[in-house]
Chain A
Amino acid sequence: MSSGPKKRNFQIEAFKHKVVVDPKYADKTWRILEHAIHEIYNHNASGLSFEELYRNAYNMVLHKFGEKLYSGLVSTMTFHLHTMSKSIEAAHGASFLEELNMKWNDHTKALQMIRDILMYMDRTFIPSTHKTAVHELGLNLWRDYVIHSSKIQPRLLNTLLDLILRERTGEVINRGLMRNIIKMLMDLGPSVYQEDFEKPFLEVSAEFYRAESLEFIECSDCGDYLKKAERRLNEEIERVSHYLDAKTEVKITNVVEKEMIANHMPRLVHMENSGLVKMLLDDKFEDLGRIYNLFRRVADGLSTIRDVMTSHIRDTGKQLVTDPEKSKNPVEFVDTLLDKRDKYDRIISLAFSNDKTFQNALNASFEYFINLNPRSPEYISLFVDDKLRKGLKGEKEEDIEIILDKVMMLFRYLQEKDVFEKYYKQHLAKRLLSGKTVSDDAERSLIIKLKTECGYQFTSKLEGMFTDMKTSQDTMQGFYAAHAAELGNGPTLVVQVLTTGSWPTQSSITCNLPAELSALCEKFRSYYLGTHTGRRLSWQTNMGTADLRATFANGQKYELNVSTYQMCVLMLFNDTDSLNYREIEQATEIPSSDLKRCLQSLACVKGKNVLQKEPMSKDIGEDDAFSVNDKFTSKLRKVKIGTVVAQKETEPEKQETRQRVEEDRKPQIEAAIVRIMKSRRVLDHNNIIAEVTKQLQSRFLANPGEIKKRIESLIERDFLERDDSDRRLYRYLA
């Protein structure tokens, strides 16, 4: 046996057979997979076994050949993309996009299948090595080798832009193909879409619309231009919805807005015969709505419209309030204001979508021009007077409210609300005393509105007037109940007891009343003072009215409605046939200006001339003689003889009212100064002026000069003092 010596040679060798996989294993397996990828790209996948390929890819990863698999995939895919790129480059003319789309579809389908095979690598090898996943890798390679190939990139962009230009000029293009290509760019990532398409698209669009807008603006009017701009805007929005990324919408509309609207705003708005002013004048709601909606889209667009509207309202408003013709009739004046206000309200609600800033601009404009006419407060009060006297007759309660609300709106614009209050008080007094007010509810409703607007202080006197009226009624009832027996058939006296201060009384001399009446008045005086001790009554004969029964020589009987003054004059003719002016003046002691006016209305107004005058002139002379007009006839049994009086105030009256207003303001300004100084202790001049103006704003616009005077006056009376070191500072002296 020869085994003996061999046995000696036996030695334990190191374990040589490490588990080594067939060295060619990886190459073999990869070749199978590589072949499969080629077949997939060649549309020849039907012969492949999915299970086999999946298992091979799995095994490569499992046996640590993931790196080889991955790099093999990259180079194989790159090879095919080069081929595809060549074939796309070779495509002629219009077939270029179609070829690109077709190849893209091939690639995505192949990519999906490759990913299926390499699923295990995607799941395990790629995350742990932080490599790009198969799907994303395929997109990146397509981007780098196809889309960014120097022969494709510019051509693709030009083709896309050219198609869009053609669509803009009215041609029909293959939107489906467009959508696919754009979708591909989006799939490659937002940066690809933006850099390779969106940015140049926006630039080209800007150029296109810049040129188009210049062309349009030369040959169309404002309305037409805006219609075209609106259509272009809608077209772009529609284009985005058909084949672009939704995020592009904002960007492309910004371009259109800038080129077609923002760059031409002043020119459009001020276009001769068709610009904004023309639209406002003609109430072109549709055009105004369009201009609003388009301009709203650009910066400063709305402020441009607003400014033009404001200056237009101011200009026309200024014309309106300073037009002497319009000022002749206060009611018409206010009606015109209300119409103007209604017009712009309608424009703002129908065309400007009730934009708050526009409403504010409207209000500011009205405030501006209404206060240009110093008589506006008077006219507004007169308008109310007119409405409450007769104008509201037959109107429904809601309508009254609407009118009153509108009046309140105008009232709010007034800077000199205290002037309004003065006039309102006068007019209200007249209405109440003559019993001309139509609706107590309407009167009260307006007072409540004034109260909510300006506070209790503003209306307390007005409310006092209503209370007086009510109390007077009760007093008269009491008077007649107490003296029923003695009074019998004599004249009926109706006394309205007015609280001093609440009413706009003018200190006037009491005229001589006819004997019958003065006796009655004495009775009332003693009755009233008997029930209210410590009060003083004085007769305001200038404010009363009287109903007289007159029998003329021809036997005609009339009932005459006259003023107290007129009554005094007429009663003189009970005893005599003719009197001259001086005799009348002596007998009645009516102030001459009032007497002249009163005689004028009795003798000079046609149809109401119960007296006749010698000579028969229009004006009353000191030597004129008067007698009863025996030929007086009237169709009506009741004749109302008004006093010749201008409804508006005359110049001197106006001055007087003005003066009273100024007088009333003084204590208010002083009160405000003291209030402010009491809390601030020390304040400089400018700040006092500012704060006082602010505090009084709700009532009137205080004049700085006047405030300064009030401060001086307060210093004189030791309420304030000037600071010794800084003369601009005032100190409050407690």
Chain B
Amino acid sequence: MGVQKDRVRFNVGGRIFETTATTLAIAGRDSLFGAMFDDNWDLQPNVMGTEHFIDRNPDCFAVLLDLLRTGELYIPSNIPEKLLYREALFYGLLDHVRAAMWGPFDGNRLHLAQSIMGRAPGDGTAIRAGPDGGCCVAHGSMVHVYDWMLEEHPPISLDYQRVNDAIWIDSESIVISACERLGRDDGGMGLFSASTGELRYKFHVTHDNQVKSYTGGALSFNSDYKLFSSCKGRSNEYGIGVWDQLTGKQIDFFYEPPGWSLGDADKLQWLHGTNCLLVATLFPRKDNCYISLLDFRDKNMVWCWSDVGAPTTDERRVRDAIAMEETNSICVVNEYEDLGFMDLRSSAGVVRWSSRSRLMKGKMPDEPCYPKLALHEGQLFSSMNDSISVFCGPDWVLTSRLRNSHGGSICDFSIGGDRLFALHSEENVFDIWETRPPPIV
């Protein structure tokens, strides 16, 4: 008869579907289909005429079945996305759906997928991309959390204190750092559940065996489950604190040396290759810029640079810095979006500014936003006013520019989960940029 042995027949909400066990196997063991056809359950998919009834929406089933068949997702306009997501969750196919929604990240192939209007008052502070496509946005003293379906979860706050930085530890946990409230043990840092918004634990700072309140600043973590934060204590206990992410216990503290700045840092970046932490304090938080690499194993500042004593023209003033381990260098940017580079192997810190045309000069918007830098798989991103520039290649050539002027200047952006999130300074708008799934041929 030539009938395929592994044919499977479903009756979903009254509609008959036929497929094969092979197609269903793509769903994986941790899905309804994987469990259903396990040997434990005496179901015989290959017995002719057996029909497996499933009491679900047949339209969504058709879409999801096609997803298993082709690996691609097409949502007809008559199906609300939310319904589809719910059905996918029922079958245990939500991860498959997410993977099919957008392609692997490429800064030169991004398109604006969506713009979300926030409802929080006041300016946005920071936006952080989560590892699986969600994001969190800090507004004043609150952090709003969105999952990859861009559904908002309960917001988080640390005693309603002003938030300085937020970071995703994993897809389920966010750490936020906040200012301390005078006279109370408020502020500092806390780890929150991304889905429920509940506080799991706070990170304490101990000086001389005494727990002290402090203001948490920039955050970073490494693969050893260590969490780093710049800290300002009341009695000049400035420096970089180190905690164990899993237990929340403080394990180290790098005190700020005299004449230097660590506790006020704007940016921390863990360097996996050299096992060092980049700490950058920048204008205008301080009058001068201080960039240093800390080695915590022997409590040593292995590299440092500062513009103290140098003539401070705007062209020379570093507004953001990022370490690029592949080329052993640090990239910096000034307020005109000129890029500069420093060699990490030589201790004489000289910034080589690359001379790019200063198109922006002279036509600053009313509320300018200063450049921020990000690095992703060999592509360098720099935000300036209402656009983000993408630079590639060994000489960092400008290859793309992302612009969405609704909402004004971009005050922060973040890349993660194969998405780029850009937060605008007005109206709390943030944009989601994605790479489209790969073409068919």
**Is B40 in contact with A119, judged by CB distance below 8 angstroms?**
no
| Complex interface: chain B residues within 8 A of A55 (CB) | 54-55
Does more than half of chain B's interface fall in helix, strand or loop, or is it mixed? Answer: loop
Q: In chain B, what residue has the closest Cβ to A40?
A: B40
**Is B32 in contact with A45, judged by CB distance below 8 angstroms?**
no
Query: Does A112 touch B at the CB level, under 8 Å?
Result: yes
Known: A50-B41, A54-B35. Is A124-B196 also a contact (CB below 8 A)? no
Assembly CA distance A116 to B38 (angstroms): 9
Which of B40, B54, B92, B195 is within 8 Å of A51, CB to CB?
Answer: B54
**Is A50 in contact with B35, judged by CB distance below 8 angstroms?**
yes
Which of A54, A112, A124, A128 is within 8 Å of B40, CB to CB?
Answer: A112
| Complex interface: chain A residues within 8 A of B360 (CB) | none
Q: In chain A, what residue has the closest Cβ to B55?
A: A55
| Complex interface: chain B residues within 8 A of A117 (CB) | 35
**Could you tell me the distance in whole angstroms from the C-beta of A57 to the nearest C-beta in chain B?**
11
- Which residues of B (92-148) have their CB < 8 Å from a CB of A? 92
Assembly CA distance A497 to B441 (angstroms): 97
Query: Does B225 touch A at the CB level, under 8 Å?
Result: no
**Is A109 in contact with B89, judged by CB distance below 8 angstroms?**
no
Assembly CA distance A119 to B28 (angstroms): 13
Query: Does A714 touch B at the CB level, under 8 Å?
Result: no
Known: A58-B90, A124-B89, A127-B172. Is A109-B40 also a contact (CB below 8 A)? yes
Query: Does B396 touch A at the CB level, under 8 Å?
Result: no
Q: In chain B, what residue has the closest Cβ to A122?
A: B30
**Is A45 in contact with B41, judged by CB distance below 8 angstroms?**
yes
Assembly CA distance A196 to B35 (angstroms): 33
Query: Does A438 touch B at the CB level, under 8 Å?
Result: no
Query: Does A120 touch B at the CB level, under 8 Å?
Result: yes
| Complex interface: chain A residues within 8 A of B195 (CB) | 127-128
| Complex interface: chain B residues within 8 A of A120 (CB) | 89-90, 92
Assembly CA distance A123 to B195 (angstroms): 13
**Is A113 in contact with B40, judged by CB distance below 8 angstroms?**
yes
**Could you tell me the distance in whole angstroms from the C-beta of A138 to the nearest C-beta in chain B?**
14
**Could you tell me the distance in whole angstroms from the C-beta of B115 to the nearest C-beta in chain A?**
29
Over the window 4-38 of chain B, the binary record of Cβ atoms lying under 8 Å from chain A Cβ atoms (1 yes, 0 no) is 00000000000000000000000000111001101
Query: Does B52 touch A at the CB level, under 8 Å?
Result: yes
Query: Does B42 touch A at the CB level, under 8 Å?
Result: yes
Query: Does B43 touch A at the CB level, under 8 Å?
Result: yes
Assembly CA distance A134 to B243 (angstroms): 31
Assembly CA distance A46 to B44 (angstroms): 11
Over the window 46-63 of chain A, the binary record of Cβ atoms lying under 8 Å from chain B Cβ atoms (1 yes, 0 no) is 101011001100100000
Which of B36, B89, B196 is within 8 Å of A50, CB to CB?
Answer: B36
Assembly CA distance A50 to B40 (angstroms): 10
Over the window 49-69 of chain B, the binary record of Cβ atoms lying under 8 Å from chain A Cβ atoms (1 yes, 0 no) is 000111100000000000000
**Is B55 in contact with A51, judged by CB distance below 8 angstroms?**
yes
Assembly CA distance A120 to B94 (angstroms): 12
**Is B92 in contact with A123, judged by CB distance below 8 angstroms?**
yes
| Complex interface: chain B residues within 8 A of A109 (CB) | 40
Q: In chain B, what residue has the closest Cβ to A110?
A: B40
Assembly CA distance A46 to B41 (angstroms): 7
Assembly CA distance A127 to B171 (angstroms): 12
**Is B42 in contact with A45, judged by CB distance below 8 angstroms?**
yes
**Is B53 in contact with A51, judged by CB distance below 8 angstroms?**
yes
Assembly CA distance A113 to B38 (angstroms): 9
**Is B35 in contact with A123, judged by CB distance below 8 angstroms?**
no
Which of B41, B92, B172, B196 is within 8 Å of A113, CB to CB?
Answer: B41
Which of B32, B42, B193 is within 8 Å of A54, CB to CB?
Answer: B32
Assembly CA distance A143 to B255 (angstroms): 47
**Is B89 in contact with A116, judged by CB distance below 8 angstroms?**
no
Assembly CA distance A120 to B193 (angstroms): 20
| Complex interface: chain B residues within 8 A of A124 (CB) | 89
**Is B36 in contact with A51, judged by CB distance below 8 angstroms?**
yes
**Is B90 in contact with A116, judged by CB distance below 8 angstroms?**
no
Assembly CA distance A569 to B169 (angstroms): 107
Q: In chain A, what residue has the closest Cβ to B196?
A: A128
Assembly CA distance A55 to B91 (angstroms): 10
**Could you tell me the distance in whole angstroms from the C-beta of B168 to the nearest C-beta in chain A?**
16
Assembly CA distance A119 to B41 (angstroms): 14
Assembly CA distance A120 to B87 (angstroms): 12
**Is A45 in contact with B54, judged by CB distance below 8 angstroms?**
no
**Could you tell me the distance in whole angstroms from the C-beta of B387 to the nearest C-beta in chain A?**
39
| Complex interface: chain A residues within 8 A of B90 (CB) | 58, 120
**Could you tell me the distance in whole angstroms from the C-beta of A307 to the nearest C-beta in chain B?**
38
Q: Which of B35, B89, B92, B196 has the most CB of A within 10 A?
A: B35
**Could you tell me the distance in whole angstroms from the C-beta of A114 to the nearest C-beta in chain B?**
10
| Complex interface: chain A residues within 8 A of B54 (CB) | 51, 55
Assembly CA distance A120 to B30 (angstroms): 10
**Is A50 in contact with B43, judged by CB distance below 8 angstroms?**
yes
Assembly CA distance A127 to B287 (angstroms): 46
**Could you tell me the distance in whole angstroms from the C-beta of B128 to the nearest C-beta in chain A?**
21
**Could you tell me the distance in whole angstroms from the C-beta of B378 to the nearest C-beta in chain A?**
35
**Is B92 in contact with A45, judged by CB distance below 8 angstroms?**
no
Assembly CA distance A58 to B172 (angstroms): 22
**Could you tell me the distance in whole angstroms from the C-beta of A133 to the nearest C-beta in chain B?**
12
**Could you tell me the distance in whole angstroms from the C-beta of B89 to the nearest C-beta in chain A?**
7
**Is A46 in contact with B32, judged by CB distance below 8 angstroms?**
no
**Is B30 in contact with A119, judged by CB distance below 8 angstroms?**
yes
- Which residues of B (195-232) have their CB < 8 Å from a CB of A? 195-196
| Complex interface: chain A residues within 8 A of B43 (CB) | 50
Assembly CA distance A116 to B40 (angstroms): 10
Known: A128-B195, A128-B196. Is A51-B52 also a contact (CB below 8 A)? yes
**Could you tell me the distance in whole angstroms from the C-beta of A43 to the nearest C-beta in chain B?**
11
**Is B41 in contact with A116, judged by CB distance below 8 angstroms?**
yes
Assembly CA distance A124 to B196 (angstroms): 12
Q: In chain B, what residue has the closest Cβ to A113?
A: B40
Q: In chain A, what residue has the closest Cβ to B31?
A: A119
Q: Which of B31, B41, B42, B172 has the most CB of A within 10 A?
A: B41
Q: In chain B, what residue has the closest Cβ to A47?
A: B42
Over the window 711-732 of chain A, the binary record of Cβ atoms lying under 8 Å from chain B Cβ atoms (1 yes, 0 no) is 0000000000000000000000
| Complex interface: chain A residues within 8 A of B92 (CB) | 119-120, 123
Q: In chain A, what residue has the closest Cβ to B29?
A: A116
| Complex interface: chain A residues within 8 A of B196 (CB) | 128
**Is B89 in contact with A123, judged by CB distance below 8 angstroms?**
yes
| Complex interface: chain B residues within 8 A of A58 (CB) | 90
Q: Which of A50, A113, A128 has the most CB of B within 10 A?
A: A50
Over the window 366-384 of chain B, the binary record of Cβ atoms lying under 8 Å from chain A Cβ atoms (1 yes, 0 no) is 0000000000000000000
**Could you tell me the distance in whole angstroms from the C-beta of B65 to the nearest C-beta in chain A?**
16
| Complex interface: chain B residues within 8 A of A51 (CB) | 36, 52-55
- Which residues of A (101-150) have their CB < 8 Å from a CB of B? 109, 112-113, 116-117, 119-120, 123-124, 127-128
| Complex interface: chain B residues within 8 A of A48 (CB) | 41
**Could you tell me the distance in whole angstroms from the C-beta of A36 to the nearest C-beta in chain B?**
11
**Is A119 in contact with B89, judged by CB distance below 8 angstroms?**
no
| Complex interface: chain B residues within 8 A of A116 (CB) | 35-36, 38, 40-41
| Complex interface: chain A residues within 8 A of B35 (CB) | 50, 54, 116-117, 119
| Complex interface: chain A residues within 8 A of B42 (CB) | 45-46
Assembly CA distance A577 to B62 (angstroms): 140
Assembly CA distance A123 to B52 (angstroms): 23
| Complex interface: chain A residues within 8 A of B89 (CB) | 120, 123-124
Assembly CA distance A119 to B36 (angstroms): 11
| Complex interface: chain A residues within 8 A of B52 (CB) | 51
Over the window 175-201 of chain B, the binary record of Cβ atoms lying under 8 Å from chain A Cβ atoms (1 yes, 0 no) is 000000000000000000101100000
**Could you tell me the distance in whole angstroms from the C-beta of B133 to the nearest C-beta in chain A?**
17
Contacts A/B (CB < 8 Å), 9 sampled: A48-B41, A50-B35, A51-B55, A55-B54, A113-B41, A116-B36, A116-B40, A119-B30, A119-B32
- 3 closest cross-chain pairs (CB), A and B: A116-B35, A46-B42, A113-B40
Which residues of A come within 8 Å of B, CB atoms? 45-46, 48, 50-51, 54-55, 58, 109, 112-113, 116-117, 119-120, 123-124, 127-128
Known contacts A117-B35, A124-B89; 14 additional CB pairs below 8 A are: A45-B40, A45-B42, A46-B42, A50-B35, A50-B36, A50-B43, A51-B52, A112-B40, A113-B41, A116-B35, A116-B36, A119-B30, A127-B195, A128-B193
